Amino acid sequence: MELFDFNIATGIISNYLPILPNIQGYGIEFSPSSERLYATYRIGTSPMMELAQFDLTQPNPETTKQIIFDEANHLFALQLAPNNKIYCATGYQNSLGVINNPDNLGTACNYIQQGQELASGKLVQLGLPPFITSFSMLPLLQVTIVWGKYQF
């Protein structure tokens, strides 16, 4: 897993930083404030996977790795939702993992492995619905139209 800076004005990618080398990565997501980075991955041939957090406010975020959860062999996609929680596809379970407070450091992020139960008979697989998280974080635009005595 690698981290870069991206200049939105020029499109230039710079400041290469290897955060977690030599892993089999799967999911990655930023907290709502973009101060924390979460990743799910497997190290080597181990059947167990890990969910880790990195503190991006520190000068060397690669040294801030905190294991949030490592008691499962199925930790896959991560997705920040409009409710500011991060959901984790737990693979072949009837519930999603939930990071309830993703801006908090370490275990204060309050990860619950079986945090969101699915409908009866449904199982999560490896992924979650794909959408660009930042789109759901944009403020809603409200427009008022006045036409004569009518207002919409």
Say what the pLDDT of residue 69 is: 93
Give the three-state DSSP class for 83.
Answer: coil
Whole-number pLDDT of residue 100? 98
How confident is the model over 116-128, as a mean pLDDT?
86
Give the rounded distance of the alpha carbon of 25 from its chain centre.
13
Q: Which residues contact 124 (CB under 8 A, 6 or more apart)?
A: 89, 90, 91, 92, 93, 94, 95, 96, 118
pLDDT digits (tens, 9 = 90+) for 74-85: 899 999 999 999
Residues 34-41 have a mean pLDDT of: 94
What does the block give as tokens for 115? Answer: 């945090």
Kindly report the number of other CB atoms within 10 A of residue 46's CB atom.
11
Regarding predicted confidence, which is higher, 149 or 44?
Answer: 44
